[in-house]
């Protein structure tokens, strides 16, 4: 068996583009040559890596595993090349990442410092969009290359799951609510909610519909500082990620888990085209520094 980096790059391109034709264009190679390389890799491994799906292709479970390992290998190769170029300096590279405001805080606090320390020649621009629609559009029109967002997204984008986050109930002190809080008791509970028509409100309404509950909108506001003030002043409870609730409220509010637990997947998304080198490196960095979970099927 003699695997090549070229085969791994071609397979990763197929995974990103979900199309043999698009993958070949992305890596500047003829489609038959890319197909032969992937088929040769399948023969070497004696396993099917991709299957046809409509007009495109999708990874088999084994293919998804090989792609994850291939990304690690290619990232390591990039790191080795960086050692060789680091002494003589290198041209600046740019990467634009877009995120929702809540995840942008985590991105800046948890992922960016370590990445920029390892890749000091990459200038990162961080955009924020309140609505998922605007976030997706910034990826589609090329304003940003990678998006950090709650999953799933409706747009046909390549998706890389990073972790599942615990969704909690944040309540004013002395609320007397049970802990953990039964999901069914959200019915009729006064909540601080985003305004109607916003992407965040639409997502919450969809979740309430799936759970079969109808909370009461005690206050509708989009400013996150107003969320904090509204909860602490006793207007109602707030549904948020545990990490952000602890970081924002500390011990000033009551933070409860739900029963059964409410988990929200978070990941990185991008259009189905080949990624730039900084984007590939950042994606690998994020996957290495966040617990990976297979998407539920």
Assigned domain for 277 exists: no
pLDDT tens for the chain, 297 residues long, are 678 888 998 898 888 777 888 777 667 678 888 899 999 999 999 999 999 887 788 899 999 999 989 988 887 887 776 666 555 556 788 999 999 887 887 777 778 888 888 888 899 999 988 778 889 999 999 999 999 998 888 777 888 888 888 999 999 999 999 999 999 999 999 999 999 988 788 889 989 999 999 999 999 998 878 888 999 999 999 999 998 899 889 899 999 999 999 998 888 999 888 788 899 889 888 877 764 433 333
Task: State which of 37, 55, 72 marks the end of a domain.
Answer: 72
pLDDT for 193 equals 95
Report d(CA 173, CA 249) in Å as an integer. 11
Indicate the helix (H) or strand (E) that contains 261. strand 254-270
- Residue 178's domain is classified under what CATH number? 3.40.190.290
Chain centroid offset of residue 276 CA: 18
Range of 178's domain? 164-264
Q: Copy the structure tokens of residue 137.
A: 């559009």
Residues 162 and 287: beta-carbon distance below 8 Å? yes
Assigned domain for 26 exists: yes
Can you count the helices (H) and strands (E) in the chain?
11, 11
Assigned domain for 157 exists: no
pLDDT for 1 equals 61
Assigned domain for 61 exists: yes
Assigned domain for 220 exists: yes
Could you list the beta-strand ranges (E) of 13-157: 50-53, 56-59, 93-99, 122-128, 146-150
Residues 269 and 160: beta-carbon distance below 8 Å? yes
Residues 142 and 188: beta-carbon distance below 8 Å? no
Q: Which of 285, 251, 284 is nearest to 16 (CA)?
A: 284
Report d(CA 43, CA 191) in Å as an integer. 57
- Residue 60's domain is classified under what CATH number? 1.10.10.10
Assigned domain for 139 exists: no
Assigned domain for 108 exists: no
Q: Copy the structure tokens of residue 155.
A: 């747009």
Report d(CA 209, CA 203) in Å as an integer. 10
Task: State which of 72, 92, 113 marks the end of a domain.
Answer: 72
pLDDT for 290 equals 67
Longest C-alpha distance within the chain, in Å?
67
58: β partners: 51
Place of tokens 């910034």: 138
Place of tokens 């990445």: 115
Overall pTM > 0.85 = no
pLDDT for 285 equals 85
Place of tokens 């990185």: 268
Q: Count of domains in the chain?
A: 2
């Amino acid at each position: 068996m003699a695997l090549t980096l070229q085969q791994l790059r071609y397979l990763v391109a197929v995974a990103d583009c979900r199309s043999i034709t698009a993958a070949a264009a992305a890596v500047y190679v003829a489609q038959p040559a890319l197909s032969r390389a992937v088929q040769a890799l399948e023969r070497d491994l004696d396993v099917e890596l991709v299957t046809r799906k409509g007009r495109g292709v999708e990874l088999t479970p084994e293919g998804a595993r090989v792609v994850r390992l291939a990304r690690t290998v290619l990232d390591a190769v990039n790191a080795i090349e960086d050692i060789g170029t680091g002494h003589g300096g290198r041209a600046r590279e740019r990467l634009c990442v877009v995120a929702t405001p809540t995840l942008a805080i985590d991105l800046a606090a948890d992922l960016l410092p370590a990445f920029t320390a390892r890749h000091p020649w990459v200038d990162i621009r961080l955009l924020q969009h309140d609505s998922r629609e605007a976030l997706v559009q910034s990826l589609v029109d090329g304003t940003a290359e990678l998006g950090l967002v709650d999953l799933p997204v409706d747009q046909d984008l390549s998706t890389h799951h990073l972790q599942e986050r615990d969704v909690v109930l944040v309540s004013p002190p002395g609320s007397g609510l049970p802990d953990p809080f039964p999901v069914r008791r959200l019915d009729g509970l006064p909540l601080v909610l985003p305004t109607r028509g916003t992407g965040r409100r639409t997502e919450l309404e969809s979740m309430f519909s799936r759970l079969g509950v109808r909370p009461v909108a005690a206050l509708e506001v989009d400013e996150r500082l107003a969320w904090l003030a509204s909860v602490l002043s006793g207007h109602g409870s707030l549904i948020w990620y545990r990490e952000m609730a602890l970081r924002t409220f500390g011990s000033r509010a009551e933070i409860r888990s739900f029963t059964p637990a409410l988990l929200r997947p978070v990941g990185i998304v991008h259009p189905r085209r080949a990624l730039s080198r900084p984007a590939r490196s950042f994606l690998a960095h994020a996957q290495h520094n966040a617990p990976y979970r297979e998407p539920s099927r």
